[in-house]
Amino acid sequence: MNEQQISRMRTALDAFYIREHEQANDTCFTQPFADGSIREYSWAQVADNARRVAAYLVSLDLEPGSRIALMSSNCAYWIMADLAIWLAGHISVPIYPVLTGNSVKQILDHSGAEAMFAGMLDDWDNIRSGVPEHIRIITFPMESSVPRDAGIGWDDILNAYDPISESPRPSLNDLATIIYTSGTTGMPKGVMHTFRNLAIVGTSSGEMYSISSKDRKLSYLPLAHVAERAAVEINQLYYGYQVFFSCSLDSFGDDLRRARPTMFFAVPRIWQKFQQQVLTRIPNQRLQLLLKLPLVSKRIRKKVLSGMGLDNLRVAVSGAAPLSTALIDWYATLGIEILEGYGMSENFAYSHATRAGQSRVGYVGSPLPGVDCKLSEQGEVLIKTPAATIGYYREPELSALLFDEDGYIRTGDKGEIDEMGRLRITGRLKEIFKTSKGKYVAPAPIEDRLLRNQAIEQVCVTGANFPQPIALITLGEQSQVSSRTPEDKNRITQGLEKTLRSVNATLDKHEKIARMVIVADQWTIDNGLMTPTLKVKRTILEEAYAARFPQWLRQPEPVLWATPVL
pLDDT tens digits, residue range 38-48? 999 999 999 99
Work out the pLDDT band at 63, boundaries 50, 70, 90.
Answer: very high
Is the confidence at residue 437, as pLDDT, over 50?
A: yes
Angle at Cα 13 formed by Cα 12 and Cα 18, nearest 5°? 100
Eight-state DSSP code of residue 37: -
Residues 495, 516: Cα–Cα separation, whole Å: 12
| C-beta atoms surrounding 8 within 10 Å | 10
Is the confidence at residue 184, as pLDDT, over 50?
A: no
Set out the domains of the chain in order of their start, with CATH numbers: 3-192 (3.40.50.980), 343-428 (2.30.38.10), 433-561 (3.30.300.30)
Residues 448, 457: Cα–Cα separation, whole Å: 11
Region of poorest pLDDT, from 71-85, 117-131, 171-185, 498-512: 171-185
Region of poorest pLDDT, from 13-22, 281-290, 369-378, 530-539: 530-539
Q: Where are the beta strands (DSSP E) in 295-436?
A: 315-318, 338-342, 352-353, 366-367, 372-375, 380-384, 391-392, 409-417, 423-428, 433-434
Q: Over the stretch 355-365, which tens digit does the pLDDT of each residue have?
A: 888 888 889 99
Q: Over the stretch 263-284, which tens digit does the pLDDT of each residue have?
A: 999 888 889 888 988 888 888 8
Is the confidence at residue 230, as pLDDT, over 70?
A: yes
Antiparallel, parallel or unpaired: β 38-42 and 440-441: unpaired
- Over residues 504-512, the mean pLDDT reads 90
Is the confidence at residue 241, as pLDDT, over 90?
A: yes
Which is more confidently placed, 4 or 126? 126
Three-state DSSP at 472 gives: strand
Contact 558, 515 (CB under 8 A): yes
pLDDT at 539: 84
Region of poorest pLDDT, from 89-93, 158-162, 339-343: 339-343
Q: Which residues contact 167 (CB under 8 A, 6 or more apart)?
A: 13, 17, 87
Residues 287, 65: Cα–Cα separation, whole Å: 56
Residues 31, 68: Cα–Cα separation, whole Å: 23
Residues 28, 213: Cα–Cα separation, whole Å: 10
Is the confidence at residue 130, as pLDDT, over 60?
A: yes
Contact 205, 230 (CB under 8 A): yes
Bridge partners, 444 (sequence order):
none
Work out the pLDDT band at 293, boundaries 50, 70, 90.
Answer: confident
Crossing angle of the two packed helices 268-281 and 325-333, in degrees rounded to 10: 50
Record the pTM.
0.84
pLDDT at 186: 58
Question: Mean pLDDT across the chain, nearest whole number?
Answer: 91
Is the confidence at residue 229, as pLDDT, over 70?
A: yes
Work out the pLDDT band at 483, boundaries 50, 70, 90.
Answer: low
Is the confidence at residue 195, as pLDDT, over 90?
A: yes
Work out the pLDDT band at 182, boundaries 50, 70, 90.
Answer: low
Q: Which residues contact 260 (CB under 8 A, 6 or more apart)?
A: 216, 309, 310, 311, 312
Contact 201, 231 (CB under 8 A): no
Is the confidence at residue 106, as pLDDT, over 90?
A: yes
Mark out the alpha helices in 176-229 (DSSP H runs). Answer: 195-209, 226-228
pLDDT at 281: 86
Antiparallel, parallel or unpaired: β 338-342 and 315-318: parallel
Which of 543, 524, 542 lies closest to 474, judged by CA?
524
